[in-house]
């Protein structure tokens, strides 16, 4: 069984405004709020890298780019803000992918422009994509192939249930699609009334995956970059501890799972 470990980077380095945090202050404990607003509570790269280093795993970070007048909140930023973080991730063995703006899905030119913006910072080709907000769309996948992506992880077949179609992978010609199995925000909203229920849900997903055919035993886990200091989001370290303790689970970056899928098909 494989876990494709991933994070979506939705916000710029400055984070959201104070009003945004104050409207959601119940998501944080008093300790996290102590340094607010001088500290951006949504900036968590050091924390993610530290906990993943502790458990000897690496993940994929999908970065948004600057998209002018985007209708899709949160506000757009320019990916160059994260130049140092991206270089640290790449040099440390993490994978960087594109978090495509939803308005770009039907244009190969727009997709290529966003891809190039990230590749200028990675210094090498990127292979994976995830659309900001989920998207199941054949035209998206056709255009990603034309833009030379190897895999996509934008699909989500159920937002309020755990369904078999959100495990494993499928193909559109040469493109491999890994549906999102576990999305933090959906787990918090639909399954986990408290922190204990977060782990219960993760364990339930693992047990369900074990019952699937071998070629479907892939869990794609999304933990947004901004949630690590939130009450339920801080369970990430415990999630990794549990997953790492399971002898039948290997935790991988997206490109690593893609390579495994390709090798099994050869």
Write the CB contacts of 120 (distance below 8 Å, at least 6 apart in sequence): none
Cβ-Cβ contacts under 8 Å for 212 (sequence gap 6 or more): 164, 167, 168
Share of the chain above pLDDT 90, in %: 83
Q: Where are the beta strands (DSSP E) in 68-174?
A: 95-100, 128-131, 151-152, 170-172
**Residue 179, SS3 per DSSP:** coil
Split at pLDDT 50, 70, 90, the class of 35 is confident
Is residue 73 pLDDT above 90, yes or no? no
Q: What is the pLDDT of residues 224-240, one digit of tens each?
A: 999 999 999 999 999 99
Checking if the pLDDT of 75 tops 70, the result is no
pLDDT at 68: 58
Mean pLDDT (the chain) is 94
Q: Could you tell me the pLDDT band of residue 247, with boundaries at 50, 70 and 90?
A: very high
Q: What is the rounded CA–CA span in Å between residue 42 and residue 45? A: 9
Domains identified in the chain and CATH numbers:
2-265 (3.20.20.370)
Give 59: exposed, middle or buried? Use CB within 10 Å, 0-12, 13-18, 19+.
buried
Find the helix or strand (DSSP H, E) in which 245 lies: helix 236-245
């Amino acid at each position: 069984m494989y876990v494709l470990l991933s994070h979506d980077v939705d916000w710029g380095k400055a984070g959201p405004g104070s009003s945004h945090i104050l409207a959601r202050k119940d998501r944080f404990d008093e300790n996290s709020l102590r340094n607010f607003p001088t500290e951006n509570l949504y900036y968590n790269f050091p924390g993610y890298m530290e906990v993943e280093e502790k458990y000897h795993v690496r993940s994929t970070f999908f970065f948004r780019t600057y998209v002018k007048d985007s209708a899709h909140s949160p506000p757009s930023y320019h990916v160059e803000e994260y130049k140092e973080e991206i270089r640290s991730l790449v040099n440390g063995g993490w994978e960087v992918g594109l978090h495509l703006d939803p308005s770009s899905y039907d244009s190969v030119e727009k997709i290529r422009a966003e891809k190039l913006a990230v590749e200028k910072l990675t210094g090498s080709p990127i292979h994976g994509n995830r659309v900001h907000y989920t998207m199941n769309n054949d035209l998206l996948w056709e255009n990603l192939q034309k833009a030379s992506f190897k895999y996509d992880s934008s699909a989500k077949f159920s937002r309020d249930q755990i369904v078999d179609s959100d495990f494993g992978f499928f193909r559109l010609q040469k493109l491999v699609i890994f549906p999102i199995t576990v999305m933090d925000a959906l787990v918090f909203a639909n399954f986990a009334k408290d922190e204990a229920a977060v782990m219960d849900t993760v364990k339930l997903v693992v047990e369900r995956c074990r019952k699937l055919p071998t070629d479907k035993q892939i869990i794609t886990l999304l933990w947004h970059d901004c949630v690590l200091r939130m009450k339920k989001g801080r369970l990430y370290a415990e999630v990794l501890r549990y997953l790492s303790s399971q002898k039948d689970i290997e935790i991988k970056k997206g490109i690593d799972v893609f390579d495994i899928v390709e090798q099994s098909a050869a």
